[in-house]
Structure 1
Amino acid sequence: MAAKVLTVIGARPQFVKAAAVSRCIATQDGLQEVMVHTGQHFDSGMSDIFFEELSIPKPDHYLGVSGGGHGQMTGRMLEQLETVMLEEQPDCVLVYGDTNSTLAGALAASKLLLPIAHVEAGLRSFNRSMPEEINRIMTDHVSRFLFCPTRTSIENLAREGIVEGVHHVGDVMFDATLHAIEKAAEKSTILADLGLDGKEFSLATIHRAENTNTKENLSEIIDYLKRRSNDNAIVLPLHPRTKQAVDRFGLSLSGVHVIEPIGYLDMARLLSCCSDVITDSGGVQKEAYFHRKRCTTLRSETEWGETIEAGWNRLWKAPDGYRDQTEISDYGSGQAAQAIVDYLMRL
């Protein structure tokens, strides 16, 4: 019988990572995947379009859990995921990244004594006020298989006493980017739709809780974008959380080219053609590098420190500029997903 891997996803970055790994699982006779979508990102612009564009199989279980506080959301997911795991009896539970869905999947599996595999293990921003940082730490400490994108992430785990089951596989987001670049150039019409053909623009994203939960922080970021727009047009796909915060605080995004949330192929096309990137997203920081675009990170720290060391990224309030640019070998050659599946087959 094939070993059963239960994959837990719920947020946009996880759809992209899971697509790369799921493609590899589908080629293995010895593995069967059961996909569970928690519903954390539930609307068509943040969820459905990714399944369509990335050819991700329809989830076997859709939990429909979204909204509410972090504890409420995680608790509801935990309860429903436990029921699914008891029904499916998987041999391994696969989780991605650092969202509430990640933590809920890991906690549900750990309570049932199921082996947990964590993709993007070992990342640390060293800022425990970030919900994502707590999610990462707790997930790593209950996981049996820890798939690390960089050597720094392996060192982070070792400092916390985690050395068993740790594997450096590279970054599955690089796999996804390589898969998407040609497809996006062929299928995406986003540049023509926005009137950006042949024009220079910066691509921005904002969604982190620490940047959207207070009027002061969000106002400061919007003012920064407006100043930057004096030099270059700013295209901002507006995350639902950010839109709600802008409306709640009575702020204005005039001067910024605001668009609705977009699919992965349109995002890949914008990344390919923009002049630079401004973001608070960990994933977009890396994608900027994969497209060889300089990035300004709207945070006081980053879990992807190698992008700063290599001169492709900078923190927006840092007093110094970009360092000399070098290549980042840790992310691998686009075979991270296959390496993960190979380890799962052996382990």
Structure 2
Amino acid sequence: MNYKITIIAGARPNFMKIAPIIHELENEKSKGTDIDYRLVHTGQHYDKNMSSSFFEQLKIPQPHVNLNCNGGSHAEQAASIMVEFEKELISNPTNLVLVVGDVTSTMACAIVAQKLHTKVAHVEAGIRSYDWSMPEEINRLITDSITNYFFTTSETANRTLFNNGVSEDRIFFVGNTMIDSLLKFKPYFFAPPIWKKLNLVPNNYLVMTLHRPANVDQENKLKLIIDCIMSYSNNISIIFPVHPRTKRVLERLEISYRKLHCIEPLSYLEFNYLVENAKAVITDSGGITEEASIQGIPCMTLRDNTERPETISLGTNVLVGTDPKKIILHLGNLFKGTWKKGSIIPKWDGYAANRVVKVLLELKKNI
């Protein structure tokens, strides 16, 4: 009987993290290794460019099932995922449920698995912002409190788990599977339509993404952020792929700058083409700070905290804070050419998924 693993994906960041793991599992299967997987898409993100295009671009097989749990508040979505995943797991028992990241699907499926007496492994375990106003932080805390096996991206995450009472034999420092995807698919990045439309050239535009409630839910706050950035960006273009959450607020604002270009969310390969060629990135997304750092692109994070401190200590990221006026200093440093250089981040080398699968095969003996 095959050793079975159920892999959970639900939102955009999950897909980059599971893709290399699936590729490694397929490689093991092709060699005759006794291991199989079932891919469950919870449907948490349902915009084509936020979800479905990732399967094609990252060469992930179509999921075995889509639970179609989209829309609603955090509580409604979590409840919907739990109800549907419980049915799924009862119908398709597994040896291990593997969850990734810190989205609602991660937490909800971990809870269901444990209540059905199924072991849970968490990829990207142990990262913390210590900001309980972030839904993702609550998801991390709950998931890690009921996880059996912890796959980590940094020594900081290892220490966090160990200090919280997790025994070292359950912590596996494997690196960052999202960086595996970035490095593997870097040769396939391609320009989105906005590139040709604006005649963009490398190192002469900024990429901006904003979606955190603290930045986008208040109209006046979002307007002030955009006004500050536009006023101190040396009149170069700002490309702003607008998250659905941000779009609702942005539509109520009367913002009109000739150099601000609000566009629909981009596919993975298109977005990273823009990042790879940008002068800098302004964001409140943790994952983008990782991708920018590995590509050596200056990054400004509009948050008061980060769960990815290695992007600051070793990468190209700077924590700006949530006071929009603080970005003025950092934009000044950028245009003066005094931005810091990044260095190598341990195990962010393209082989994290290979390490994950080796551990999964070892765990087979104990499950």
TM over 0.5: yes
Determine helix, strand or coil for the equivalent of 2:49. coil
Give the corresponding residue for 2:56: 52
Give the corresponding residue for 1:65: 69
Give the corresponding residue for 1:113: 117
Corresponding letter in the other structure for 1:180: F
Give the corresponding residue for 1:334: 350
CA distance in 1, matches of 2:51, 2:253: 28
Give the corresponding residue for 1:252: 255
CA distance in 2, matches of 1:199, 1:150: 30
Give the corresponding residue for 1:2: 2
Q: 1:120 to 1:251 in 2, by over 3 A?
A: farther
Deviation at 1:305, TM superposition (A): 1.0
Structure 1, residues 279-330: CA drift from partner, whole Å, max 9, x if none? 1000000000111111000111111112212351112246986885341332
Give the corresponding residue for 1:207: 211
Structure 1, residues 238-278: CA drift from partner, whole Å, max 9, x if none? 1111101212x434253411111111110121111111111
2:202–2:279: 8 Å Cα contact kept in structure 1? Answer: no
Q: 1:31 to 1:312 in 2, by over 3 A?
A: same
Determine helix, strand or coil for the equivalent of 1:41. coil
1:294 to 282, 293, 298: 298
2:174 to 147, 155, 169: 169
Q: 1:236 to 1:214 in 2, by over 3 A?
A: same
1:216 to 196, 199, 220: 220
Structure 1, residues 198-240: CA drift from partner, whole Å, max 9, x if none? 5611111111222222223322322233224444311111111
Larger Rg over CA atoms? 2
Corresponding letter in the other structure for 1:127: D
Q: 1:256 to 1:190 in 2, by over 3 A?
A: closer
Percent identical pairs in the alignment equals 36
Question: Is residue 2:265 matched to residue 1:265?
Answer: no
1:190–1:269: 8 Å Cα contact kept in structure 2? Answer: no
**Unaligned 5+ residue runs, structure 2?**
334-338
Determine helix, strand or coil for the equivalent of 1:28. helix
CA distance in 2, matches of 1:217, 1:98: 26
Corresponding letter in the other structure for 2:27: T
| Structure 1 segment 145-184 matched on structure 2, within 5 A | 145-163=149-167, 164-184=169-189
Bigger shift: 43-52 or 281-290?
Answer: 43-52
CA distance in 1, matches of 2:144, 2:271: 30
Question: Is residue 2:359 matched to residue 1:343?
Answer: yes
Deviation at 1:174, TM superposition (A): 1.2
CA distance in 2, matches of 1:15, 1:105: 16
Query: How many residues matched?
Result: 345
Give the corresponding residue for 1:82: 86
Corresponding letter in the other structure for 1:344: L
Determine helix, strand or coil for the equivalent of 2:157. helix
CA distance in 1, matches of 2:354, 2:100: 15
Determine helix, strand or coil for the equivalent of 2:50. coil
Question: Is residue 2:31 matched to residue 1:26?
Answer: no
Give the corresponding residue for 2:236: 232
Q: 1:234 to 1:88 in 2, by over 3 A?
A: same
CA distance in 2, matches of 1:228, 1:5: 50
Q: 1:314 to 1:28 in 2, by over 3 A?
A: same
**Unaligned 5+ residue runs, structure 1?**
none
Q: 1:224 to 1:114 in 2, by over 3 A?
A: farther
Q: 1:52 to 1:228 in 2, by over 3 A?
A: farther
Corresponding letter in the other structure for 1:233: S
1:274 to 273, 278, 295: 278
Structure 1, residues 99-136: CA drift from partner, whole Å, max 9, x if none? 00111111111111111111110100111111100101
Deviation at 1:341, TM superposition (A): 0.8
Question: TM-score, normalized by length of structure 2?
Answer: 0.89
Determine helix, strand or coil for the equivalent of 1:27. helix
CA distance in 2, matches of 1:41, 1:225: 29
2:3–2:36: 8 Å Cα contact kept in structure 1? Answer: yes
Give the corresponding residue for 2:336: none
Bigger shift: 81-90 or 24-33?
Answer: 24-33
- Aligned-residue Cα RMSD (Å) equals 2.0
